[in-house]
Chains A and B, each alone.
Chain A
Amino acid sequence: MKFTWKWLLDHLETDKNLLEILETLPKIGLEVASVVNLAEDLKSFVSVEIIDVKKHPNADKLNVCKVFDGKNTFIVVCGAPNVKLGLKSVFANIGTFIPGLNLRLKKGNIRGVESFGMLCSEKELTLSQNHDGIIELKRSSELGLPVSNILDLNDPIIEIEITPNRGDCLGVRGVARDLAAAGMGKLKKLDIKINDGEFDSLINWHVDLNENEKYLCPKIFGRSFTNLKNVESPLWLKNRLIAVDQRPISSIVDITNYIMIDLGRPLHAYDIDKIKGKTLKIKKSKKGDNFFALNGNTYELDDNMLVICDEQGVDDLAGIMGGERTGVTKDTTRMFLEAAIFDPVSIANTGRKLNLHSDARFRFERGLDYSSPESVMHYAAEMINKICGGKLSKIVNFKLEQKNKIIKFDPNIICQLTGVEIENELSKSILEKLGFKIVSTNKFWDITPPTWRPDIDGIADIVEEVIRINGYEKIPSIKLPRSNYIAKPAMSIKHRQPFFASRTLASRGYNEVITFSFLNKTMADKFNGGGLALNIVNPISSELTDMRPSIIPNLLFAVQKNVNMGAQTLSFFEIGPIFKGDSPNEQISTITGIRYGDKIKKDWQKEAVQFDFYDVKLDVIKVLDSIGVPNNSLKIFQEAPDYFHPGRSAVFRIGQNIIANFGEIHPEIVDTFGFNKSSIGFEIFYENIPLPKRNKISRPMLNITNLQSVTREFAFLLDEQIESEKVCQVAKSVYKDLITDVIIYDIYKGENIPKNKKSVAIKVTIQPIQDTLTDSALEEISTNIIRSIEKKLSGFLREI
């Protein structure tokens, strides 16, 4: 919402200055977006008279002019068609910044003639888009004055942000009223001269709606004007409209726009001579109706849009935009003026469906002053009469009686809700200045909100009005009292798990990224997503159409971006949601990572080694370990989803629940990214991890023995297909208490090993518990390990 300082003063009687007003506006909820003073920008432009005009010797369309500013003369080369001797215009000297051209003026040499400045058009001064010729000042204009004085531009333009509830402040008067309530002056009385008109209106209303639909148009007023001269608007009016970004068109249109800004009250003017018949009907549209709007576009309407029609058909989209067919032009002499109240919901729905925005819609949607149609008929009439002359008719109208809304209000609620102690008298006075009517009974106040505040419908709204004007700075700052006697963690275990996982991963070389929750359809399909329920109807781009079924593709894109920038080795992880469906329990939080490139870079010590399956498996184990899942509780299965390499991937399970997928990404997918190294990824579904069973904080007793542990080594010849880790599991299971560790220290295939066999060498750590183990006891342990492997894995001890 834009207005000018002088415009505000039309409604506000105040001794405060601009700065004080600007400081107050945000305090009462009217945020100041910008303040511009055109006079400041244009102070170097001065009035001059053209005292000599000669044709340019080398260019037909240019003139060489001599201009006089009352003291000095300047030579200016000018191409404007309206240059003539004696014309008074606007001159910019060398060094002046020309806002409309966004450049600083230098001495020019135009086709061999030196030019010492410039005569300016309205566009060059940003006064309008008019660039047809240089500005023509009045003959009586004094020379050498800043043009802002002559054109009356010395009026700062203020723009404020209006929240959706404050439709009343979409008019200058509403802003003035708020400022007055906040002690910034006195709201001037709106001087409306009642003029009942001389003749019956040439056009009448017919509200063609069922009784139960009349709420769509609870009020509509109109009156006819004849013998009008739709002249160009006076300068003051044009300046005000230009200042608030309204293009001056003709005085009738300008007046309706002016009143819309002035009172926040949109109006519509019809050319009576273009209306077919003598009645305008307010009705609901039928699907297929066409409407040719003032903006030059044709709209095909849907059912149930509120329209205004003459005998020929739809010619006004109620509250949104008038029709081209019956619009006023410079030639209009007979005009019918409309001021109505329409249902904001209906206006909003229609506007949204047609994607049609207008200043009128903006105001109708936010709710208008219910009492405004009556008064504006007189207010507008006076202005039209003053500028366009003519005669005016009586008013024709339709209106539903509106019951007054009364809110029962206990003033104590103000303190209860906000903590502000405020005298009842002060609260009352604030509300009354804002236009609220208050009738006090003993404890309660019966409050009637003003007609221009349809947003007020409850106690909390009234509390806000009081404290807003009283000042939010008067709300005390109270520390939240401690509700618990002991500090409690803010995080649940399910919040702590990703917190720890991220640290484990980062310390292992992974960089955390955050990527979008959506990706393209192709990738969604490849990662077993892409279902209709997760497809975005209005995506921002064709690359971001589907909710992601996995974070892995996003991480592959991340790797790709960096590889394209020259990176060789990348480890990324992200903790975030994936989507299996659109219901809340189908959103799954995962910890997902990817490694690409060299685990060990070649340097003067080492040869390069690339990341492989086992590196990422270890990452997964370490992460799980750091979030409460010991390695021995995990079962591994080679059954990862098909976006992994079938032979180089696996899942970890606890019971039936999959805790993690991991492995090489399928080469077909990797190929689409153009990588020359394999990518190894994992996804951990930490929500599937059972909560720790331990409910005691204290730890179980630890028994430490002082006896030395012994190790024994074995090599077994096994069938190649047997999972090597089984050897460890079997060996360990022989003496669960004595054998503390079994590691595979060598796997060998090739010479001396039969085909389809492999040698697995293990080192077993045996920890005596009570007594040192005798040689024969150790011998027995060894024998039992060997027998067990023979029995369970058909493996035989290999002579080393």
Chain B
Amino acid sequence: MVSELKQDIQNLLKDITTNISKSKTTSELENIRINSLGKKGSVTLYLKNIREFDIETKKEIGAYLNDTKNKINKLILDKKNVFKKEYLKEKLRLEKIDVSLTPYEAEAGTLHPLSRTIEELYAIFADMGFTIVDGPDIESDYYNFSALNIPEEHPARQEHDTFYLQPDINGQRKVLRTHTSPVQIRTMEKIDLKNFNEIRYIIPGRTYRSDHDATHSPMFHQCEGLVLGKNINMGHLKGCLIEFCRTYFNEDNLPVRFRPSYFPFTEPSAEVDIGCKKENDGSLVIGKGEDWLEILGSGMVHPRVLQGVGIDPTQYQGFAFGMGLERLTMLKYGIPDLRPFYDSDLRWLKHYGFIPFDSPSLHSGLNGIFS
């Protein structure tokens, strides 16, 4: 009797199991659950009927039925999970998008290569203890020439191609500064000699000469340097500028040559050349080869210039230097032509410009690799 019953229940379980595995939807599954475990379900009916049996049988069949019920519940749950997974799978399949598309967004802009060079100079000279100062673009004759030991009739003046502004009522005409050197005078005038020990300045800025061709622009940029103190000599000039050239061009062994030259406001004066190789196609390789390339002018501040601003040249001496920033930029970054610097051609700016986050510094590098 017990075993017969068990056999019946087992067959029922078998049928239900088959039905569950055959079921295709959650509602089918729900029907199977109701038909088996619901109030009038086939398994429930067995449970209702066991009241008629003796205690022993009741106990045995009851446990067997409960076990069966649990099995069915588990089977239904498992099947439900299968359905859930299938449903999700299908849902995800339908949610597929075209990943090849990219929405348009305005690109980040670029920084001008000249700004870049100026910032690289800041980084290098800041490391040597320099600070930045500025001066005006419109200058008097005094600051641009006379105070720099370039009197009116000096032949050096003719090389300057000066822009003049309209004369004022006294006939005085201002000039657009032809170099950044007048700022040397302006900064030295401000020195309070009572509390003076040493200055180290770099002075970047716009400069102007009335010359316009493939290699000259009526406006260009220079960076001036000025170091003045009690024990500054030409050896320091050499040390400072060699360090600058090598750091800027990123060449440990860059040959740097100092050559006698002439500037009215320095004495002795030196032109600075770097070693390079001129390729047949006209390009240059910095640091290699037999050729020399002039990149900056320098010298010991002329005693007469110091006297002019009230500094005793037997007490203080120093050096000054000046360089063309367009040229430095072109050499380092392989920009072949000067004129596009001021042409605002978007294609040029994007090609030669720098991304805003690539800020040059000694710790992150000076060479604009990511731009």
Contacts and interface: CB of A to CB of B under 8 A. Distances in A.
Interface of A: 26-29, 31, 163-166, 344-345, 348-349, 352, 365-366, 415-420, 458-461, 463-464, 467-468, 472-473, 475-480, 482-484, 487-492, 495, 499, 502-503, 505-518, 532-541, 544, 547, 555, 557-558, 561-562, 565, 567, 569-573, 575-577, 579, 582-584, 587, 599-601, 603-606
Interface in B154-207: 154-156, 158-159, 163-168, 173-174, 176, 197-198, 200, 202, 206
A518 to B, nearest CB: 8
A561 B110 contact: no
Contact of B106 (A29, A345, A495, A509): A509
B260 A507 contact: no
B165 A537 contact: yes
Nearest to A357: B158
Nearest to B238: A477
Interface string B332-358: 000000000111111101100101110
Contacts of B82: none
A172 B7 CA distance: 131
Given A348-B155, A478-B236, A480-B227, A605 B103 contact: yes
Nearest to A554: B344
A490 B259 contact: no
B252 to A, nearest CB: 14
A505 B111 CA distance: 9
A366 B126 CA distance: 40
A163 B317 CA distance: 24
Contacts of B233: 415-419, 478
B250 interface: no
Contacts of A544: 218
21 contacts: A29-B262, A417-B268, A460-B302, A461-B267, A464-B267, A476-B235, A499-B119, A505-B109, A506-B110, A506-B111, A507-B108, A511-B109, A512-B112, A513-B349, A535-B165, A538-B210, A540-B212, A544-B218, A555-B344, A599-B106, A604-B103
A78 B136 CA distance: 66
B269 A464 contact: yes
B70 interface: no
B359 interface: yes
Given A29-B260, A536-B176, A576 B239 contact: no
A540 B345 contact: no
Contact of B107 (A28, A478, A509): A509
A491 B123 CA distance: 10
Contacts of B346: 511, 562, 565, 567, 570
Contacts of B283: none
B122 interface: yes
Contacts of A583: 136, 138
A68 B6 CA distance: 135
Given A480-B240, A483-B229, A561-B345, 12 more contacts: A348-B155, A349-B152, A416-B317, A473-B257, A477-B242, A478-B233, A490-B125, A503-B357, A508-B109, A536-B163, A584-B135, A587-B137
Contacts of B131: 488-492
Nearest to B356: A506
A562 B350 CA distance: 13
A383 to B, nearest CB: 29
B164 A536 contact: yes
Nearest to B143: A584
A532 B166 contact: yes
B186 to A, nearest CB: 8
Contacts of B154: 164, 348
Contacts of B345: 561-562, 565
Contacts of B200: 480, 483
Contact of A475 (B136, B234, B271): B234
B104 A603 contact: yes
B349 A458 contact: no
B46 interface: no
Contact of B258 (A472, A515, A603): A472
B219 A507 contact: no
A533 B168 contact: yes
B303 interface: yes
Nearest to B227: A480
A587 B110 CA distance: 26
B115 interface: yes
Contacts of A344: 153
Nearest to B107: A509
Contacts of B164: 536-538
Contacts of B323: none
B300 interface: yes
Contacts of A579: 137-138
Contact of A483 (B114, B153, B198, B292): B198
A441 B153 CA distance: 37
Contacts of A572: 344
A770 to B, nearest CB: 42
Interface string B120-162: 0010011111111001111000000000000111111011000
A476 B239 CA distance: 8
Given A503-B357, A584-B136, A562 B165 contact: no
A489 B236 CA distance: 22
A352 B158 contact: yes
Contact of A502 (B111, B128, B344): B111
Given A477-B238, A558-B344, A365 B122 contact: no
A491 B122 CA distance: 8
Given A164-B155, A164-B262, A490-B126, A517 B119 contact: no
Nearest to A561: B344
Contacts of A535: 165-166
B235 A418 contact: yes
